[in-house]
Structure 1
Amino acid sequence: MALSQQDVFNIDFHQFMDSEKDQSSMELAQEFGLSLKDVKNLKEKLNRS
């Protein structure tokens, strides 16, 4: 059974999507405890779906 992105990062995607509209990548990384690369990857995956 494959892990979902939510399992890997342990974040609420709805909260991430709401926050990404108003915050910079640096702010998102700090808020969710992610690296800037992780934030970039999440944004790319969200834009593809």
Structure 2
Amino acid sequence: MKKDGIQGRPYRLSDRLIGLVVLLPILLWKLLRALFGIALGILVVLLLLHGSS
């Protein structure tokens, strides 16, 4: 019983760590894309405002 409990904990932790390691790059990529999209949008709006004035 004790051995199962000791073995069970690291497996769960490693699974969570693997999940985080897999999720982090995806989340960072989505954040970067979102920020890039917002920056592009602002630049386009500024350029349009500059061009029209």
Q: TM-score, normalised by structure 1?
A: 0.30
Higher relative contact order (CA closer than 8 Å, sequence separation 6+)? 1
Computing the radius of gyration from Cα coordinates, the structure with the larger value is 2
Q: TM-score, normalised by structure 2?
A: 0.28
